[in-house]
Structures are given as structure tokens and as C-alpha cells.
Amino acid sequence: MSDGVRTGPESSERPLSEAYDTALLDLDGVVYAGGNAIAHAVGSLERARAGGMHLAYVTNNALRTPGAVAEHLTELGIPAAAEDVITSAQAVARLIAEQVPAGARVLVIGGEGLRVALRERGLEPVESADDDPAAVVQGYGGPELTWGRFAEASYAVARGVPWFASNTDLTIPSGRGIAPGNGAAVEVVRIATGKEPQVAGKPLPPMHRETVIRTGAKRPLVVGDRLDTDIEGAFNGGVDSLLVLTGVTDGPRLLAATPEHRPTYVDADLRGLLTGQPEITREGEGFRCGGWTATAGNTRLELDGDGEALDGLRALCAAAWTAAGEGSCELDGGKALARLGL
């Protein structure tokens, strides 16, 4: 980094699973998609765990309970216990409990994960705005969540009841593509009421605090597929991050990333935990990684050389982020990314 601004992915001589004590792994788009394990996830996590790395699963999805998530992971071949899973439901429940009386009623717009997390904090989940709730909490409820639930939240929020959201991710990856996330549902209530919720999930501090409390991590590595939640959350928490390209982030988004969205490391998938990360060197006006050299031209990013596509992408990141400084790179990287097949 230069003057506190990351100007390219960093290197690591040691495998990341040895350089960090805990992997804080996002789930959707990193470990699985649409309920099925992503390629190389099971074997990579098994090897990282066998080497002594603690694995914790950190998700903004508030629908399922930690126990249900752990059971699913175990079925996929990734042994996990409920205490290995940290959800935005847990983070938002703690946030609410700090602001309402003990035993208070909370109107729940979402799934069972929210109800379990609230009860863990001694709060009483209720279903109607007429139940005199002290707070409203909204979390991802799955495709079966009915329109009437948004209306129920709107009635209470419009009356001045404090409103909380587990997270505001606009989209969520599925086995069939990208679907609306909790952020899209939050927008419905925001439009109806003109109010703003308190948000707990990534990338905001309540989620990072919850994760640190529950894992006790000393040198964590955030592993995610989203720049605006996983990577920004790591940035806000002052910890390192690994972006894997198995979810929503593609090459153009990565090259255009502003400082808070620039990951420490970039890799194709979770096999990146098991390896070191190559060095990027400055060569004249360009940046070299492996067999590739990337430069920032007048209107577009240029790429010369040959080798592993990921090395080319890392070199392009260095050229783009250096050119952008504290902003977002506006140079055209399409031709260079196409050459890499990205």
C-alpha cells in the first residue's frame, strides 16, 4: 500500500492458512451457491482445518439458524458446529438488546434465524404491529416471504417504532443466478415510510464485533466474494481479506474498486487459502506479476505477456488501483480481461 491506500494485491510467502489463525468465511458465493458446494470448497477447507486454521462461517443471511447452517455444511462434507457460524441475525439481535428493555417485544419480518437470535438475547419475537413491539427487525425471509409482512413492518415503523435490519445486501446468489436480497426488501419499507433502519450486517461494525466476540480470532482473514460487504467489512475492521471469484464480483468490478473495496489478496476460489500469494513488482510504468505486465494507458488498461490468468488479473489490479488512487478506475479494461478469459 502507498500512503494508506492499497495500490495492488499483496504477496505472501506462506500459505494463507498458515499466515492467519482464523478464516472468517462468507457462505453464499464462497462455500456454496444454491445449496450446493462450490468447486474445490470442501477439499480446500478440509486441508486448511487439518493444518490448524480455525474456520468460522460468517453470513449476512439471517434466514437460517446457526445450527441449520452447520448441519447443511456438514451434509456438504464440511464438518461444522453451530458455534462455528455467525449470522447477521445474531449481530442485529445484540444491537437491539442494547437499546430496548429486557424481555421487550420485537416485530420480526424474516425467518427463523431472527427469532432464535432474539430469544438468545432474551427478547420476545412477535408477528404484528398491533402487538406493541419495542422494535422492528427485518432480515432475509426467503422467496416465500409475503407482501403482507412488508406492510406489517411499515405500519410499525411509520408509528415511530425503531427499525433494525440484519443487512442491506440488494442481491443474493442462487443456483439459478442472482436473486433479490434483504436489501431489496428493506427498500420496500423505506419507500413506504421514508425512514432509515439501523443496520448490523457486513460491512458495518456490529457484524465485525459479533464475529470477534464469538470466534476470539487474533489474526483473522476475511474470505468473501462481495466487495461491498465482505471486503469493505474487512476494511472497516482493519483486517486482511481474500476475494474469491466464485460469486458476484467479476473482473470489471474488481478493477474499478475504490480503496475500501480493494482486497488484500485475490484468488479464483478457496484453494487460495492453501497457497502463498505472488509478488507484484513495479517495472517502469507497469506492474508485473508472473508472466504478465499491466500498464495504465491514456484511455485503457494494457496487458502484455503470458501465463496464469490470475497473475494477469493481479497485475491489472495494481495498474488500475494505482491510476485511480483514492477514486475508482475509469480506464477501459475490457480487452485485457477478455484476453485473460475473465
Q: Which residues are catalytic?
A: 26, 28
Looking up cell 480503496, which residue turns up? 259
Classify residue 10 by burial, with Cβ atoms within 10 Å: 0-12, 13-18, 19+: middle
Comparing CA positions, the residue from 38, 74, 94, 7 lying closest to residue 223 is 38
Kindly give, in sequence order, each residue whose CB lies less than 8 Å from that of residue 161, ignoring residues fewer than 6 positions away.
Answer: 107, 129, 133, 134, 135, 136
Measured CA to CA, the distance from residue 27 to residue 36 in angstroms comes to: 11
Measured CA to CA, the distance from residue 258 to residue 244 in angstroms comes to: 17
Kindly give, in sequence order, each residue whose CB lies less than 8 Å from that of residue 188, ignoring residues fewer than 6 positions away.
Answer: 150, 154
List 303's β-bridge partners, or say none.
294
DSSP label at residue 228: I
Measured CA to CA, the distance from residue 210 to residue 73 in angstroms comes to: 21
Helix (H/G/I), strand (E/B), else coil: 98: coil
**Do the Cβ atoms of 114 and 89 come closer than 8 Å?**
yes
Could you tell me the three cell numbers for 25?
A: 468465511
Question: Rounded to the nearest 5°, which phi and psi values hold at 337?
Answer: -65, -35
